[in-house]
Structure 1
Amino acid sequence: MIDKQHITDRFIKYITIDTESDPNNPAFPSTEKQWDLAKVLAEELKQIGMQEVDLDKNCYIMATLPSNLDYEVPTIGFIAHIDTSPDFTGANVKPKIIKNYQGNDIILNKEKNIVLSPDYFEDLLQYKGQTLITTDGTTLLGADDKAGVTEIVSAMEYLIQHPEIKHGKIRICFTPDEEVGKGAHLFNVEKFGSEWAYTMDGSQIGELEYENFNAASAKVTVTGKIVHPGYAKGKMINSMLIANEYVASLPTEETPENTEGYEGFFHLHDIQGNVEQTILEYIIRDHDLDLFEKRKKLMQRIADDFNEEFNQELIHIDIKNQYFNMKEKITPVMHIIDIAEEVMLENNIKPLIKPIRGGTDGSQLSYKGLPCPNIFAGGHNFHGRFEYVPVESMLKATEVIVGIAEKIANKYA
């Protein structure tokens, strides 16, 4: 079996390297510090015995585990991303290790009274008796997606050390800038050379996902007129008040905090403004393509109504599609889901097949010709101070990778 301490040490090594990406930098990768982990990984892959290790000019790391079979099977791939979210700092991560967790409150930071409690985060109760890795309350952890990176490296190392486990050719890739939506942009599918792949980027143990949101961003620019407030009657147009009316005109219950499952939403995630100009930054999400298109049209229609009322273009909207639901690309090759599900069941893991309320590199890669569903990496509460991962979940994810490789070898024997 895979050593628990070994996988813990590897994960901690990765998360203590800051790789936060930057949504405002068009460079690739968006932050130079992503190279720090990329170089470590490239060297480590060589040390464990991987072949064709390549770190390219865009910070993608690809490597090969050659087949040990005397017959042909499909080449498969495993993918994870090395960057962490800009939503919360990933600098100076100081992980805490909670052994034999008993369902109690975990004090992350006594000084600042930051507590990880099962009263609020009920999922913690699934992991009684297990070893949890948490933050110290001042940073995110980076299990998204350094848990996935850890699992892929550990699975490859295990297969190399156990040649009696039969497997076909396996390709792996670690991508930059997934958290800012660019992880698949410069991914060379032809070079990767895999028939299909799995991203190890899901959350709790058992997650197996092949549906994700259709996604767009919307920048709403409201233009006002500044006039001395003492002489403003009939002249001033306060862009902040118009923006407030615009926000209130969207369905108030169709927000992230009020939706679940297949329900879509409008998410206002940033506001900057003064009297003369206010900018609203939205993301638009829906699993259903028709409803997704209707959401975009609604945002434009509300703006048009305001502009008509004021007889001038007060509101301008710039909507950009980000990615689409990969279900369309996975449904014709559902055997790749069946294989992962069978392996989970064989490892006493209950498969949780459900839609992703977000997106992964896999959604874009599926549209680039590489069908790529998503498998759990084990972490919870991503992108914030309450992030944690059970070590046992990382071990199980590693076993699933090994199991998929072995299953494919047996199926095509």
Structure 2
Amino acid sequence: MDTQSDPASESTPSTEKQWVLARHLFEELKAIGLEDVTMDENGYIMATLPSNLNKDVPVIGFISHYDTSPDFTATGVKPRIVKNYKGEDIVLNNEKNIVLSPDYFEDLLLYKGQDLIVTDGTTLLGADDKAGVAEIVTAMEYLIAHPEIKHGKVRIGFTPDEEIGRGAHRFDVDIFGAEWAYTMDGSQIGELEFENFNAASAKITARGKSVHPGYAKNKMVNAIGIITDLASRLPREEVPEKTSGREGFFHVHHLKGTIENASMELIIRDHDREKFEERKQFLNLLVQEFNQRHPQAVDLELKDQYYNMREKVEPVYHIVEIAKEAMEQVGIEPIIKPIRGGTDGSQLSYKGLPCPNIFAGGHNFHGKYEYVPIQSMEKAVEVIVKICELTAEKS
């Protein structure tokens, strides 16, 4: 199902096609035996697995988003399974010579002997984050079928529009009613994340004056020139393709214009809050400098998007430790690292629902080389089940 979100839309969900999966999922949750299954007017789905204990246990939750990225087409997804992967090149599309190769994507070699779900090379796959959706539903179905596994009340939630930064905007934390939750939205098996970027978006607009180029001296103001000159002043080493770990960046993702009007859209990211504020101030000062040369020609629209959830999770770090122990008990080595991106969990943490992020298993999100090992998804299900079990044991 094509469930791409659309940043240009003001509705929630931002696309009608997200409703197709939402309605299907709503009915499936009722069919497997969950209780209190609801879907509100904005496409937020919630459901309950009741406690099977006679003691008080913290209510916990698991959350995934069902939209997919607008960065690459999701129309006509044709997934296939490569069984018992041996480490070779995978020809996704022979006609278009599109190949998924470990020579370029080295992580493939981690999954020799496993079964990979891949694309046909013309669309993204949608494992971000339908893998997470599938894992949560499967885990709930397993717990319903195995009442001997003791657990407290579990709430699950599915959100639209995470890929355009709005996944948690209309998520009602009070109605959800969990003490803490986990988003199943990470990548490689073992990932466990409780810190992410501080994030802002910026749009810089320049206004120029168009004059016949033969007679333009001291008269023409070329908005394209202003914008490209401004872009050239951004730190050249502080871009996504040259940074890793906790290093922040400026990322120009749209540039367009004419002599009269030109604009540049970019995102600002940094794990360190102080450095994040310095990056925003750098842009403000840069725009002021250009306006001194061309009075009132440049505008800056700067918006904070989300903040590092570490500040909200560290005071309740035991929720990370439970997830870590769950992974270890099912034979997974936890990979605790910062997210070089965002997650619903960040916004939810600031809304009062501490929410670390756990792997869903996929790789190469937002493009035609996306894939997910089936065994990673199966392990994610085991982790969810074990978290429920450990939370009950430790209460």
TM-score range, shorter chain: over 0.9
Q: What is the CA distance between 1:234 and its match in structure 2?
A: 1.3
Picking from 337, 343, 349, the partner of 2:326 is 343
Counterpart residue number, 2:129:
145
Is 1:396 aligned to 2:382, yes or no?
Answer: no
Counterpart residue number, 1:333:
316
Picking from 134, 140, 158, the partner of 1:174 is 158
C-alpha distance in 1 between matches for 2:12 and 2:391:
35
Secondary structure of 2:384's counterpart equals helix
Is 1:208 aligned to 2:188, yes or no?
Answer: no
Counterpart residue number, 1:12:
none
Is 1:358 aligned to 2:341, yes or no?
Answer: yes
Segment of structure 1 superposing worse, 187-196 or 271-280: 271-280
Counterpart residue number, 2:10:
26
Counterpart residue number, 1:99:
83
C-alpha distance in 1 between matches for 2:102 and 2:258:
41
Is 1:43 aligned to 2:27, yes or no?
Answer: yes
C-alpha distance in 2 between matches for 1:148 and 1:407:
20
Structure 1 letter corresponding to 2:122: T
Task: Please list, as runs of the form range in 1=range in 2, the aligned pairs for 1:225-236 lying within 5 A after superposition.
Answer: 225-236=209-220
C-alpha distance in 2 between matches for 1:181 and 1:286:
16
Counterpart residue number, 1:272:
256
Task: Please list, as runs of the form range in 1=range in 2, the aligned pairs for 1:361-376 lying within 5 A after superposition.
Answer: 361-376=344-359
C-alpha distance in 2 between matches for 1:108 and 1:96:
9
Secondary structure of 1:220's counterpart equals strand
Displacement over 2 Å in runs of 4+ = none
Counterpart residue number, 1:246:
230
Deviations 1:310-347 (A, max 9, x none): 3x122110100000000000000000000000010111
Deviations 1:59-115 (A, max 9, x none): 001000000001110000000001000001111100121000011111111111111
Structure 2 letter corresponding to 1:156: M
Task: Please list, as runs of the form range in 1=range in 2, the aligned pairs for 1:53-72 lying within 5 A after superposition.
Answer: 53-72=37-56
Task: Please list, as runs of the form range in 1=range in 2, the aligned pairs for 1:67-86 lying within 5 A after superposition.
Answer: 67-86=51-70
Structure 1 letter corresponding to 2:134: T
C-alpha distance in 1 between matches for 2:111 and 2:54:
42
Q: What is the CA distance between 1:348 and its match in structure 2?
A: 1.1
Is 1:187 aligned to 2:171, yes or no?
Answer: yes
C-alpha distance in 2 between matches for 1:115 and 1:200:
28
Deviations 1:337-388 (A, max 9, x none): 0000001011111100000001100000000000000000000000001100
Picking from 268, 289, 299, the partner of 1:316 is 299
C-alpha distance in 2 between matches for 1:306 and 1:272:
18
Deviations 1:138-181 (A, max 9, x none): 10000000000000000000000011111000000000000011
Counterpart residue number, 1:297:
281
Segment of structure 1 superposing worse, 301-310 or 86-95: 301-310
Structure 1 letter corresponding to 2:124: L
Superposed CA RMSD: 0.6
C-alpha distance in 1 between matches for 2:206 and 2:369:
35
Structure 2 letter corresponding to 1:358: G
C-alpha distance in 2 between matches for 1:344 and 1:226:
62
Structure 2 letter corresponding to 1:122: E
> TM-score of the superposition, structure 1-length normalised?
0.95
Structure 2 letter corresponding to 1:296: K
Deviations 1:268-292 (A, max 9, x none): 0011111111110000000000000
Paired residues, what number? 395
Q: What is the CA distance between 1:309 and its match in structure 2?
A: 2.4
C-alpha distance in 2 between matches for 1:35 and 1:245:
43
Structure 1 letter corresponding to 2:89: D
Deviations 1:246-305 (A, max 9, x none): 011110010000000000000000111111111100000000000000000101111111
Secondary structure of 1:201's counterpart equals strand
Secondary structure of 1:27's counterpart equals coil
C-alpha distance in 1 between matches for 2:204 and 2:80:
41
C-alpha distance in 1 between matches for 2:178 and 2:36:
14
Q: What is the CA distance between 1:307 and its match in structure 2?
A: 1.3
> TM-score of the superposition, structure 2-length normalised?
0.99
Q: What is the CA distance between 1:411 and its match in structure 2?
A: 1.1
C-alpha distance in 2 between matches for 1:348 and 1:400:
10
Secondary structure of 1:164's counterpart equals coil
- Where do 5+ consecutive residues of structure 1 fail to align? 1-16
Identity %: 66
Secondary structure of 1:129's counterpart equals coil
Secondary structure of 1:400's counterpart equals helix
C-alpha distance in 2 between matches for 1:306 and 1:115:
45
